[in-house]
Amino acid sequence: MTIELKIQELRDELRQHNYNYYILDNPTISDYEFDMKLKELQALEDANPQLFDHNSPTQRVGGTITKNFNTIVHDFRMYSLDNSYSKEDLLDWEKRIKKMVDGEVQYTCELKYDGASINLTYEDGKLIRAVTRGDGVQGDEVTPNVKTIKTVPLQLKGDFPKRFDIRGEIILPIEGFLKMNKERISNNEEPYRNPRNTASGSLKLQDSAEVAKRPLECLLYSIKGNDLHISTQYEGLEKARVWGFKVPKEAKLVNSIDEVLDFVAYWDEHRHNLPYEIDGVVIKVNSLFQQDELGFTAKAPRWAMAYKFKAEQVSTRLNEITYQVGRTGAITPVANLEPVQLAGTIVKRASLHNADQIEKLDIRVGDAVYVEKGGEIIPKIVGIDLSKRPKDSQPTVYITHCPECGTELIRPEGEAKHYCPNDSGCPPQVVGRIQHYISRKAMDIEGLGGETVALLVKESLITNYADLYELTVDQIIPLERMAEKSAENLVKGIMASKQIPFERVLFALGIRYVGETVAKKLAKHYKSIDALMFASMLDLISVDEIGDRIAKSVVEFFSIEANKSIIARLKHYGVQLEISADKLANQTDKLKGQTFVVSGVFETVSRADLKKLIEDNGGKVSSSISSKTSYVVAGDKMGPSKRTKAENLNITILTEIAFLELMK
C-alpha cells in the first residue's frame, strides 16, 4: 500500500469513528485507540506535507491564528423569526397561512436552541467556509474555529448536492459548561455567565486551538441552495443526518396545529431534561413549495414561527433612574438595579421606555420590582411589590432638561417619548448619527467603529458625517490605540464608502422613520436626493406605503439648512446621491400602479427574479389575491383555490411566457 493510500485510509476510518461517536452516539473503538490512529495519521502527514488536506481529521486540533475576521455576504439571506408567546398567536399564524396557500398544511416542529447561529458552505462534500449570522445579509468568517467542532463534518457521506449551505446553532452543552466553570473557579478565574454567550464568544477567539478545547457542538436545522432535490423541511433534516450532520432527533413532523400545541406543551415541561438549553420551539410549514408560496416579510419568513417559552422573572431593588439620549434626541429612562441573576446573566439595568410607562406603573426609586427577560435583549420591569415600598417613598418626577447638554426637553403631540431638540450640539446625538451612518447596513465603513467615532468627536476632528471625508492619516495617528496602518485603512474605508448605492446612503442619513425598506422605496421613486429634497408632503404621501408621519419627517429633515449643507458636501466628495445609470437602465415605470401576485413553479426565471422584475418596473408584488390585484402570474402547481379566487374576481391570469412577453 502506498503512503498516499495509507493516509487516505486512516482519514476515512477516523471520519467514520468520529461520526459513530459524535453523531450516532455509538463508538466502536476506545478513545485511546482513536488517539493512536490520529497520532499515526499526524506523523504520516508531517512526513509528507505534499499530501496536506485542510479537511483532514488532524486539523480539528486548531492552531490557526485569526486577527481579523473577514466579512462575507451570505449567498442566501439569514432571516430572523417572528416570535409568539401564546396559543392564540399560533392559531392566528395558522389562519394567515391557510388564507395564502392551498391544500393541507403539515408542520415541522423543532427545538429552538439557545446558541450562536452559523452558516456552513459545502462544495463537493467538503466544508469550504463557516460564517456567523451577522446582520443576516453578511457575517464574519470563522472557518478555522468551526473546524475544531467535532460535530461539524469536514467531509460528507452519501449522495449530497454539489454545493449548498446548511444552517444551525453552535451550542455549549450544560455539562461541558459546568465543567469549564469548575476549572476556571479552581484557577481563581471569573466563571462564564451562561452557555449561550460562551458559545458565541468562542467563535470569535483569535486562536482556534483555544476553541478546540471547548466542548462545543453544532446542531443543524436548515438547508439552502439550488437543485437540492428536496421537497420538504423534514426530508431535508433526514438527508442532512445521512450526510453526516448532527440533527437533533427531537424534531417532529405533524399534521395539525393541535399537534403543534401538544409538542410545545411537552417541551415546555421537559426542556430541563435536555443536555443543552432551549428557549422555545420553532414551527415551520413542511412543504418547501408552500414555503415559497408564502414568502417573506422584510424581516422574517411567513412560513415559520418561533414559540418562546414564558420568560423567567425575578425580584430586585430599583436603586436609581438615569436617562439616556439617543441619536434622534429621544430620551430613554433606565432603571439601575441591585444586580440579580436572570436567565443565566447578571442583570443590573432595565429599560423603563418612557414617562408614560413610569407613571402607569408608578415606579419609584427604592421599590422592589419584578424584572423579566422575555423576547427582549434588554430586561424590562413588569411590576412592583407595593408591600415592600418604603414609607418615605416619593413619586418619580420625569426630567425636564437634557442630561447631556442641559437643553429643555420637548414632547411632540401624540408621542410617548421626550426629545432633546439640540441635535447639532448634544454629544450623544452627534456621535449617534455618525455611528448610524457608518453602520453595517448603511455605509459599512471598514476600519471605523463606534468607539473610534466617539473619540474623533471628542477630539473635535469631526462634528457630522460629512467631516469623515476630510480626515487625513496624520490627524488620525495621534488617537489612542491608532497605528499608522490602522489610520490608513480607516481613510481607505471612508473613501471606499463613496461607492455605496443611493438607497443605503439615504438610510445612512438618519432621517427619522426612514429605515432600510422606506429608504429603498424613496430612492426608487425619486431616483436622486435632489428630487427627494424638493418633494412636498402631498408628493411624498402619494408614494406607495409612505404615510403622513414619514412624509412630515422627510420634509422637516430637508428644511434644516445644516442638513442641506451636509448633503451638498457629501455630493461634492462623490458620495452616491442618485441611482446609478446602470441601475436606472434596468428600471421603468411600465407596471406603475399595478399589483401582481406570483404563484406556482416557474421554468425560465425564478420566483425571486420574477418579483424583482415586477418591482424594477414600478409594479407592486402582493402575497394574496384581492380586488386590488391587477394580474396573477401563474406557474406550474398553482393552487386551485387561488386560481378560483382570481377567476371569481375577474383578475387576468398570465402564464410565465405571457408575462415575459408583456415585459418586452
Catalytic positions are 112
Question: Which residues partner with 167 through β-bridges?
Answer: 119, 222
- Site of grid cell 486577527: 67
Give the amino acid at 267. Answer: W
Burial of 185 (0-12, 13-18, 19+ CB in 10 A): exposed
Sign of CA dihedral 6, 7, 12, 17: positive
CB count in 10 Å sphere of residue 571: 15
Count of residues for the chain?
A: 664
The C-alpha cell that represents 235 in the structure block: 426530508
The C-alpha cell that represents 143 in the structure block: 472557518
User: Which of 275, 309, 273 is CA-nearest to residue 178?
Assistant: 275
Under a CB-based contact definition with an 8 Å cutoff, are residues 519 and 499 in contact?
no
SS3 category, 89: helix
Phi (first) and psi of residue 439, to 5 degrees: -65, 165
CB count in 10 Å sphere of residue 457: 19
SS3 category, 111: strand
Under a CB-based contact definition with an 8 Å cutoff, are residues 88 and 267 in contact?
no
- Site of grid cell 479552581: 186
**Sheet containing 126-132: order of strands:** 126-132, 116-123, 163-171, 217-224
Task: Please state, in angstroms and rounded to a whole number, the distance separating the CA atoms of residues 436 and 440.
Answer: 9
Under a CB-based contact definition with an 8 Å cutoff, are residues 218 and 246 in contact?
yes
Task: Please state, in angstroms and rounded to a whole number, the distance separating the CA atoms of residues 305 and 81.
Answer: 6
Percent helix / strand / coil, the chain, rounded to 5: 40, 20, 40
Report the run of H or E that residue 658 belongs to, with start and end. Answer: helix 656-663
**Cβ-based neighbours of 220, under 8 Å, separated by 6 or more:** 120, 166, 167, 168, 240, 245, 246, 247
Give the amino acid at 105. Answer: V
User: Which of 227, 106, 117, 229 is CA-nearest to residue 166?
Assistant: 117
